[in-house]
Amino acid sequence: MKGWQVETRGDIPVFKDLTVPSPGPGQVQIQIEACGLNFADLLMVKGTYQDTPEAPFTPGLEVCGKVIAQGDGVSAPAIGQRVAVFGGQGGLAEIGCFPADRCVAVPDSMPSTVAAGFIVAYGTSHVALAHKARLQPGERLLVLGAAGGVGLTAVELGANMGAEVIAVARGPEKLQIAKDHGATHLIDAGAPDLREQVKALGGADVVYDAVGGDAFDAAFRATNPGGRIIVIGFASGTVPQIKANHLMVKNIDVMGVYWGGYLKFDPKVVTDSLAALFAMYGAGGLRPHVSHVLALDKADEALELLRSRRSTGKVVVAP
């Protein structure tokens, strides 16, 4: 089969012929129809992601496809069933083997290119906003990186939860996409006065930050007393340094959310969240945005779309 492989930690992935993997105990073998890319894939390729596998490995955290074989001890999902799964690696190939207990049945109404990028982005934002921050109707939600893979889902879910959403993204095209998904206020990320603009709107009760760097600093200073800041990631490349005395004086909570970590220490949070999200999709309450779908042999170009921030919503590779 064809697939991408990082042969040495930190090296650029190579497109090559790979041995078809056989499912081990507790695994299913999946004919991959689509692989959703995430910023974490870029970190994994560099070798800086917290869960980077030992090389050689195939990148691609989440996929959608049909089950074609079962490993020992597996009775579900059934062969022939279409599922989505967060496997942590192995997605940028024609076939992969993934934990059976992580597979989620995909509704017939959901295309594979949508399902492949649904779990991590929507799951991260739903757990962050509903489980961790307990976002309430009428609160003001500030979303940094609001047109990105996770940021756009935070805009949409926040609006669905009754929040007044302030979207921060770069350029009118990305801001329009955020508006189309429920943002009430739009701020260009290139503006030098982010803090002042947010304060003029009444400040933020909850901040959703997948960017870090200077944007985090400005958002922190625009957070209302008693507010909550959700740390999702650091697309800017800079991890913020937080002054604890400022947290104390403003009674602000800063909380980290690593969605994949819940699979290890509290998987029920993830399963309950995904059940709620697929129900929302089935009821027509969610409109996932996929800006690019590329062929498997173009996965390097797909990753570059993320790296250069030229994408909006999700980028998907379809073998």
DSSP string, 176-230: HHHHHTT-SEEEETT-TTHHHHHHHTT-EEEEEESS-HHHHHHHHHTEEEEEEEE
Q: Are 243 and 165 within one domain?
A: yes
Q: Are 139 and 197 within one domain?
A: yes
pLDDT per residue of the chain (319 residues) written in tens, 0 to 9: 999 999 998 889 999 999 999 999 999 999 999 999 999 999 999 988 888 899 999 999 999 999 999 999 999 999 999 999 999 999 999 999 999 999 999 999 999 999 999 999 999 999 999 999 999 999 999 999 999 999 999 999 999 999 999 999 999 999 999 999 999 999 999 888 999 999 999 999 999 999 999 999 999 999 999 999 999 999 998 999 999 999 999 999 999 999 999 999 999 999 999 999 999 999 999 999 999 999 999 999 999 999 998 999 999 999 9
Q: Kindly state whether residue 142 falls inside one of the protein's structural domains.
A: yes
Q: Kindly state whether residue 275 falls inside one of the protein's structural domains.
A: no
Q: Are 97 and 131 within one domain?
A: no
Of the candidates 158, 128, 106, the one whose C-alpha atom is nearest the C-alpha of residue 278 is: 106
Which spans in the chain are helix H? Answer: 39-46, 112-115, 119-126, 151-160, 172-180, 194-200, 213-221, 244-250, 259-265, 267-282, 299-307
Q: Are 165 and 47 within one domain?
A: no
The CATH number covering residue 241 comes to 3.40.50.720
Boundary-marking domain end, from 259, 277, 299: 259
Domain count across the chain? 2
The CATH number covering residue 90 comes to 3.90.180.10
Query: Residue 8 belongs to what domain range?
Result: 2-118+288-318
Q: Kindly state whether residue 80 falls inside one of the protein's structural domains.
A: yes
Answer yes or no: are the C-beta atoms of 216 and 191 closer than 8 Å.
no
